[in-house]
Amino acid sequence: MPNTIIYNIDVNSAFLSWQAKEMLETGETMVDLRDIPSAVGGSEEHRHGIILAKSASAKAFGVHTGEPLVQARRKCPNLTVVPPRFDIYVENSKAFIELLKEHSPVIEQFSIDEAFCDMTGMELLHGDPVAYAHTLKDEIRERLGFTVNIGISTNKLLSKMASDFTKPDRVHTLFPDEISEKLWPLPVEDLFYVGHSTAKKLRGLGIHTIGELAGTDPELIRSHFKKHGEVIWNYANGNDADMPLRDKTAANKGYGNSVTTHYDVTDRQTALRILLSLCETVGARLRADKSYISVVSVSLVDYEFHHSSKQTTLPSTTNVTEKIYDTAVMLFDALWTHAPLRLLGVNTSHAGTEKYEQYNLFELDKYEKLSKLNEAIDSIRDRYGEDSVKRACFIDSDTAHMSEGLNKAKRKK
């Protein structure tokens, strides 16, 4: 058995599984969504009609994550669709990670429904790592009520690839001596970090499988894909030197938010109210992490799906909502062509915990006061819920005062 053992533990159809469990436990339904053609999806009426998760039987009809609900229903007319419940997902994710902490000293949460566990040396406590993975998988099912796949290998990349093999409720290994048998015959688009466009270019080079990519001269791959080519060539050969396992989530390098409107935005006043809503959430997230940013960008998508964006670097770092909003307004006015808008986004980057000021006699006092006001409002919202304080412009408005807020479970307490 190799000296290093890494588990990748991935919840099967997480959003659907967690919601199905909740609906059964509360008596909301007697039918398990996991046993019928079903999906979690947004509102078609409000242009959020995208499949977020689907059941195995829905997948058998060709339904896949990320496709429009309208298209999914053409494939599966009897598809049962339920709206997302983010509060349920957060609760189950926390329970999932807490259980894993009972079994491994080093846990890296990779996403809301996936984590890596360093099991190196744990065979002295747990016995054979492969046999123990089956025990852990079954414990998660019995205690938490949902199933997982566990991939086992000597590094994060190979364990993640292994967990993506046959689902659900399975344990798979992908050790280095198994790469040629289990990994290389797979289509190149199955490799982690290879997207649709990259796979298309690779096939244009005559590279159709992961094994063919692994056997290609790395200089050829690098010449076509630059640094990204070097990464995927190493991944195809099972090397993941750039993916060290960390026992805590890496600091956020950027904070952003966007919203797809359920109507065409044609006037500046409405657009600015939406931008303010987005900035409210971004600012609150920054302050919750005690972070400051120095770059702000605005992105727009019009009714013909033309994308545009513009960014600027601030002279000082900030986490003040009003400063982010003032900058976003400036960028919006420089960017918007008055075409009807369907999506607006505000993103920030170059985040860090260090604060520095480029003194401006006209603005320093203003933003210092606003910073204290922001902190006071954050405190009230944290105690009484996100909807406890809102700006007057959002009263009787169809724009949420905090678009896609920090935690939908905390909207009202």
CATH of the domain at 221: 1.10.150.20
Task: Note whether residue 242 is domain-resident.
Answer: no
Note whether 279 and 159 are same-domain residues.
no
Query: Does the structure show a pLDDT above 70 at 364?
Result: no
| pTM recorded for the entire structure | 0.66
**What's the mean pLDDT when you consider all of the chain?**
86
Per-residue pLDDT, 46: 53
Note whether 63 and 163 are same-domain residues.
yes
CATH number of the domain at 31, please: 3.30.70.270
Closest by alpha carbon to 34, among 63, 12, 50, 66? 12
* 319 exposure class (CB count in 10 Å sphere: 0-12, 13-18, 19+): buried
User: The sheet that has 38-41: what strands, in order across it?
Assistant: 51-54, 38-41, 80-82
CA distance 330 to 399: 21
Count of domains observed in the chain? 3
Q: What is the average pLDDT across 35-55?
A: 80
Query: Does the structure show a pLDDT above 80 at 294?
Result: yes
Q: What is the average pLDDT across 152-174?
A: 96
Note whether 41 and 153 are same-domain residues.
yes
CA distance 174 to 160: 9
Percent share of the chain, pLDDT over 70: 88
Per-residue pLDDT, 45: 61
Note whether 131 and 218 are same-domain residues.
no
Task: Tell me the per-residue pLDDT of 224-234, one tens digit each, with 9 for 90 and over.
Answer: 999 889 999 99
Per-residue pLDDT, 409: 40
Is 25 assigned a catalytic role? Answer: no
Task: Note whether residue 249 is domain-resident.
Answer: no
CA distance 153 to 177: 10
Task: Tell me the per-residue pLDDT of 86-136, one tens digit each, with 9 for 90 and over.
Answer: 889 889 999 999 999 999 989 988 888 999 999 998 888 899 999 999 999
Note whether 287 and 383 are same-domain residues.
yes
Task: Note whether residue 247 is domain-resident.
Answer: no
Catalytic residue among 22, 108, 114, 280: 114
Task: Note whether residue 377 is domain-resident.
Answer: yes
- Confidence grade of residue 57 (pLDDT, cut at 50, 70, 90): very high
- Confidence grade of residue 301 (pLDDT, cut at 50, 70, 90): confident
**Domain span holding position 229:** 184-236
CATH number of the domain at 286, please: 3.30.1490.100
Note whether 286 and 149 are same-domain residues.
no
Note whether 48 and 125 are same-domain residues.
yes
Per-residue pLDDT, 251: 54
Task: Tell me the per-residue pLDDT of 140-149, one tens digit each, with 9 for 90 and over.
Answer: 999 999 999 9
Task: Note whether residue 23 is domain-resident.
Answer: yes
Query: Does the structure show a pLDDT above 60 at 282?
Result: yes
Note whether 155 and 231 are same-domain residues.
no
Query: Does the structure show a pLDDT above 60 at 405?
Result: no
The residue from 173, 208, 223 where one domain ends is 173
Task: Tell me the per-residue pLDDT of 167-187, one tens digit each, with 9 for 90 and over.
Answer: 999 999 999 999 999 999 999
